[in-house]
Homo-oligomer: A and B are copies of this chain.
């Protein structure tokens, strides 16, 4: 047995199980007690990491965001101007990513009427917009789009496409195999960039 518990790893492990539980039983029925049972820990241990449900959901949300960010970073390391690749890395086209979106939908639902959560979501969205703008500026430098394009407007359009598709896919996954998602994304990117 290890002498020291890796608390960060355990917190992440518990958050991962929380994400699965949200997809299975819903955020309404997710409790620290239920989570402890699913994770095989005592309620006391889980309570040590998450004092209440809000803290649990907040951490789970941030974990999902970190995972998503890591995938986007990987795309950008290889090709710093690959906007479609970035957005594609966030599409809910497999189990893991659908779970991320489930966590986000659950969080959005909780953020209504919860100023702290709403602020977190706003900050996160603005961060995404900024990242998309950075990629667009790189594209402009390479001459792939016009240097005087309205990067802010374009970034908003791309975030719209991503969130809007994810809502449709999230509640109708059978209708949205990966190929359809990618085709739709490509089409939207082409249409939006044609004006840039």
Interface residues on A, range: 35 or more
- Known contacts A164-B163, A191-B191; is-contact A109 B114 (Cβ 8 Å): no
Q: How far is the CA of A184 from the CA of B152 in the complex (A)?
A: 12
Q: How far is the CA of A5 from the CA of B25 in the complex (A)?
A: 38
The answer to whether A142 has its CB under 8 Å from any CB of chain B is no
Chain B residue with minimal CB distance to A165?
B160
The answer to whether A106 has its CB under 8 Å from any CB of chain B is yes
Contact between A112 and B106, CB atoms less than 8 A apart: yes
Contact between A26 and B191, CB atoms less than 8 A apart: no
By secondary structure, the A interface counts as helix
Chain B residue with minimal CB distance to A25?
B113
The answer to whether A139 has its CB under 8 Å from any CB of chain B is no
Chain B residue with minimal CB distance to A29?
B113
Q: Which of B29, B113, B164, B167 is the one whose CB lies under 8 Å from A27?
A: B113
Q: How far is the CA of A24 from the CA of B126 in the complex (A)?
A: 23
Contact between B113 and A22, CB atoms less than 8 A apart: yes
- Known contacts A164-B165, A171-B121, A172-B125; is-contact A27 B110 (Cβ 8 Å): yes
Chain A contact residues, CB within 8 Å of chain B: 21-29, 102, 105-114, 118, 121-122, 125-126, 153, 156-157, 159-165, 167-168, 170-172, 184, 187-188, 191-192, 194-195
